[in-house]
Amino acid sequence: MQLVERTAQGWMAVTPELIRAYLARPEIHPVEESCANEIALFESLMGDPLRPVSAADLDALADRDAADNYRIVLGYRDQLVRSGTL
């Protein structure tokens, strides 16, 4: 419960800490072969896990699979944020 906050209705609200913990999972974390742009994107998301990520940011990644993975993960993140609660 330390990664979420309760709303006035008692629901669990999405927080930057929750998204940061999700993005820090090994499936998302850059690997040794990751390009500089992927590492920079990951580090910027660790600093601000709710920051907007543009298509150009993802197109700059050398690994197309990594870019597709980020599209999926960030789409999930954005849906959670739009929903406001878990």
Domain-wise residue ranges, the chain: 5-83
Q: What is the reported pLDDT for 30? A: 95
Q: What is the reported pLDDT for 49? A: 98
Selection from 78, 35, 43 nearest residue 60 by Cα? 35
Q: Give residue-wise pLDDT tens across range 7-66.
A: 899 899 999 999 999 999 998 899 999 999 999 999 999 999 999 999 999 999 999 999
CB 77 within 8 A of CB 19: yes
CB 63 within 8 A of CB 34: yes
Q: Give residue-wise pLDDT tens across range 75-85.
A: 999 999 999 88
Please state the pTM of the whole predicted model.
0.89
Number of residues that this document lists for the chain? 86
Measured CA to CA, the distance from residue 22 to residue 3 in angstroms comes to 10
